[in-house]
Amino acid sequence: IRSHTCCDRKLPCVAWSGVSKRIPVLLFCAEAIVSKDVAIRSVGEKYNLAFKIVRTESRLVRGILVNHGFHEVHPNSNDFNLMWTGSHLKPYLLRSLQDFQKVNHFPRSFELKRKDRLYKNIQRMQQTHGFQNFHIVPQTFVLPAEYQEFSSSFSKDKGAWIIKPVASSRGRGIYLVSSPSQIPLDENILVSRYISNPLLIDGFKFDVRLYVLVTSYDPLLIYLYEEGLARFATVKYDHATANIKNQFMHLTNYSVNKKSSDYVSCDDPEVEDYGNKWSMSAMLRYLRQEGKDTTLLMGQIEDLIVKALLSAEIHIATACKMFVPHRCNCFELYGFDVLIDSNLKPWLLEVNLSPSLACDAPLDLKIKASMISDMFSLVGKFPFPTGSESQSVSVLIHSSSQCQRPPSSNSADPEAQREKAGAKLAESTLSLTAEEMKVLRRAQEEYDRRGGFVRIFPTPDTWELYSVAFIILFCVVPSALFCSLISWLFVLVPPSCSKVQARMAFSSYLHRVQLRLLAESRANMGPAWTQKEHDQMELVVRFLKRASSNLRQDMCLEEPSRLLCLSDRQRILSHQLGNFIQLYNQETKQMVESLDKIPDEDRCINSNVFQEFILEASESDLEEVLTFYTQKNKSASVFLGTKCDSSRVKRTSDENRESERHFFIFYMPSHQPRMKYDTAHVIKECFNNRWWSERNSSPKNEKSVIIYSPPCHYKPIKRNPN
Ligand code: ADP
């Protein structure tokens, strides 16, 4: 798919998706806007694809859609595949969206767009995850509410501040002040610390416009377009206070500077570093030649984008759950404005929800037409009428009622049958629900159609950077890594094991200990035994005494005599452990039978994956999971049971704690180093392309794993600049 071109004479602008790669997908190409190619147009026309543009005027969007054969419907019409709107949608309109319809905004996007909300969201992240980790925006106060705080900050550091209306754009109403007395207190405004040391090129201040595409907030999927724009001020920078009123020096907005007689535009799209608007890549090339580390800079910019979106993620994901009926209804193209200071630190100035798509200069058209075409290819999917509509394939957009609908799948159609069979096979091999399959395939296919968009979240690094447990991916991992990965998932991914699963894990763990004791008893025929081995035996004895007292049934426990040799003691203990496991499993079974529904099963690990894990996990893998479960629940009573029978020896709470503490430390043979994978390493390995799979089934020595968790479980780790 990646190598698609419009020059494929048979099927222009078509890629293939779905399990068997037989579902056609319409790809957009920027050249269509100028070439007006009939073959390209005919593809969209064939399916009667419709769009509407509401409350905005975008010649570029209209041009691209029309030249791909879409027809425009009235803004009031509901028969559209794509709605391009300049403002956010009311909840009732979102709720009425059908599965083949898309809009270019998520609900509650004002959490990012409004400068006051954006700042508050980032401030919240600073408080919960550390100021340094979210130090991505200049210090800001909302006035008049925070006037006191602002005054005290001002008295400590008397630099310039910049005043902005809370919900405005294009530099409107923005000015600089050097004293609080210059600030009006009767309006809601934002006052931000002015970055007085901007990075300059040829003495001019500039900022960068980056195009960021989000196709889902749950799970979060973020793409950054490879190209952007650098926008220059028209007067050379001089931070002397006398110039404070000169907007052409301090503001970099195009809408401000185009009014200056000094504004220079460039008529040649191939010249990207001339005049007041450069391409981002030309700007980076220039900085590289100046000896600046642009790789580090771009890494920090990506980090800033991810963090800004994470700060609003919970609000937007929640709103999506409430108002958006289908996962694929919304996408959003954001314009991120970033200012780079002389230390090469990027600062987020604002997030635009409807970034300007005006093409005043040839360079604008060159960059924006490619970006918009790639965006539509990435978010949209247009099936042919002859294609199947198999449940397993996410049909993102198809024609609406008056538009031509693809016929429903025909059971006699061999392609439809193959598609269904493929999906079934994948479903059974992966143990995924239909919904998981859909989400997964969508993420994979989006990635395949990404064009010039680079996925910046999730990536292998996001695990290390944000310790993120919110990935949704299908990985095929070597069997050797499977159990390690799953045991780490128990620890990392919040939906952990249910009580029944915890008991099953515990029983398996004891079974491993039992087998080990038996194996060691065979190997330990000699008289010598170490203090460590002695201690371990003691632990097992102590455990059995305590745990058996919690069984509902009586268990006759005989402590092996200390006069016996080690191997005999191990053998006896192993046998007793076996008896214990049998009774323990019976109780688990009774527990399951007495429940209609396992109370916390909604939050537990997928039972098929869990079963597989239980069968194959090593003693240390299981120990990992159980230790985590105990820590998380601050008790091991789930495995121990809580029965307190007065006929038995009464235990003090100290003793209880003592027994819990010793639960998972049976296994410490010094000759066998514990195999423990570093989480980031395991995840990275899984992300490694070698184990990405688009296959329908996995070979025997590999296993499929889906990693999924809801948003907002992460703790950011500061990026190490080195
Ligand atoms: P608008 O939405 O009106 O464009 P911005 O927040 O993007 O508002 O600010 C407009 C311009 O002002 C920016 O492009 C930048 O040049 C300048 N600017 C804004 N905030 C700061 C700041 N804190 N320090 C330095 N310059 C700033």
Whether residues 468 and 582 fall in one domain: no
- Same domain for 250 and 112: yes
- Find the CATH number of the domain harbouring 206: 3.30.470.20
Token readout for 484 is: 């390690």
CA of 127 relative to ligand 1 center, distance in Å: 24
Measured CA to CA, the distance from residue 282 to residue 202 in angstroms comes to 14
Q: Which residues pair with 232 in a beta bridge?
A: 206
Residue 38 lies in a domain: no
**Both 577 and 462 in a single domain?**
no
Ligand 1, pocket-test mutation among 140, 157, 205, 339, most atoms within 8 A of CB: 339
- Give the closest residue to 468 by CA, choosing from 689, 705, 708: 708
The closest-lying atom of ligand 1 relative to the alpha carbon of residue 115 is 6
Is 320 inside any structural domain? yes
Within its chain, how far is the Cα of 365 from the centroid?
A: 31
Alpha-carbon torsion (18, 22, 23, 29), positive or negative: positive
pLDDT, position 529? 63
With the most atoms of ligand 1 within 8 angstroms of its CB, the residue from 253, 255, 343, 345 to mutate is 253
Mutational pocket test of ligand 1: of 113, 150, 162, the residue with most ligand atoms within 8 Å of the beta carbon: 162
- Judge whether 23 lies within some domain: no
Task: Report residues whose beta carbon is within 6 angstroms of any ligand 1 atom.
Answer: 138, 162, 164, 168-172, 174, 192, 194-195, 207, 251-253, 337, 339, 349-350
Q: Is residue 52 part of a domain?
A: no
Distances (CA, A) of 431 to 95, 123, 416, 440, 478: 31, 41, 22, 13, 17
CA of 461 to the centre of ligand 1 (A): 30
How big, in percent rounded to 5, are the helix, strand and coil portions of the chain? 45, 15, 45
Interior CA angle at 31 toward 29 and 36, to 5°? 105
Q: Residue 330 C-alpha to ligand 1 middle, in angstroms?
A: 29
Q: Which residue, of 459, 490, 521, is where some domain finishes?
A: 490
Residue nearest ligand 1's atom 20 by CA? 349
Has residue 69 been placed in a domain? no
CA distances from 245 to 86, 140, 166, 242 (A): 32, 20, 20, 8
Task: Decide if 190 is inside a domain.
Answer: no
Altogether, the residues listed in the chain come to a count of: 722
Distance 171 CA to ligand 1 centre (A): 7
Measure the CA–CA gap between 229 and 555, rounded to whole angstroms: 76
Helices (H), 449-596: 460-466, 479-492, 499-523, 531-549, 566-594
How far apart are the CA of 251 and the centre of ligand 1, in A? 6
Which residues of the chain are modeled with pLDDT < 70?
Answer: 1-12, 17-24, 381-438, 440, 459-498, 524-530, 595-609, 628, 631-636, 638-722
CA of 312 to the centre of ligand 1 (A): 21
- Residues 675 and 703 occupy one common structural domain: yes
One domain for residues 465 and 507: no
Question: How close is the Cα of 547 to the center of ligand 1, in Å?
Answer: 66
Pairing of strands 200-201, 702-707: unpaired
Whether residue 155 is contained in a domain is answered as no
Closest ligand 1 atom number to CA of residue 233:
16
pTM for the model stands at 0.66
What pLDDT sits at residue 122?
96
Same domain? 208 vs 249? yes
Residue 414 sits in the same domain as residue 510: no
Residue 543: which domain range? 499-708
Which residue, 652, 705, 234, is CA-closest to 483? 705
From CA 542, how far away is CA 640, in angstroms rounded?
13
Question: How far is it between the farthest Cα atoms of the chain?
Answer: 101
Nearest atom of ligand 1 to the alpha carbon of 253: 14
CA atoms within 13 A on the CB side of 325: 13
Q: Are residues 533 and 464 in the same domain?
A: no
Give the residue whose CA is nearest to atom 17 of ligand 1: 251
Report the pLDDT value the prediction gives residue 694, as an integer from 0 to 100.
30
Pairing of strands 346-352, 332-340: antiparallel
Q: What's the half-sphere exposure (Cβ side, CA atoms, 13 Å) at 249?
A: 16
Nearest residue CA, atom 19 of ligand 1?
A: 349
Out of 490, 525, 548, a domain closes at 490
467: nearest Cα among 623, 683, 314? 683
Predicted pLDDT of residue 506: 86
Distance from C-alpha of 173 to C-alpha of 164, rounded to nearest angstrom? 6
Q: How far is CA 153 from CA 180, 191, 348, in A?
A: 11, 11, 20
The span from the CA of 264 to the CA of 285, in Å, is 20
Question: What's the burial of 461, exposed, middle or buried (CB within 10 Å: 0-12/13-18/19+)?
Answer: middle
Mutate to test the pocket of ligand 1, among 135, 153, 175, 251 (most ligand atoms within 8 A of CB): 251
- Note whether 374 and 335 are same-domain residues: yes
548/484 same-domain check: no
Q: What's the number of domains the chain is made of?
A: 2
Q: What is residue 382's three-state secondary structure?
A: coil
What is the rounded CA–CA span in Å between residue 647 and residue 644? 9
Residues 695 and 667 in one domain: yes
pLDDT of residue 517: 83
Question: Among the atoms of ligand 1, which is closest to the Cα of residue 352?
Answer: 2
Whether 242 is covered by a domain: the verdict is: yes
Task: Choose the final residue of a domain: 490, 510, 540.
Answer: 490
Based on the fold, state whether residues 623 and 600 are members of the same structural domain.
yes
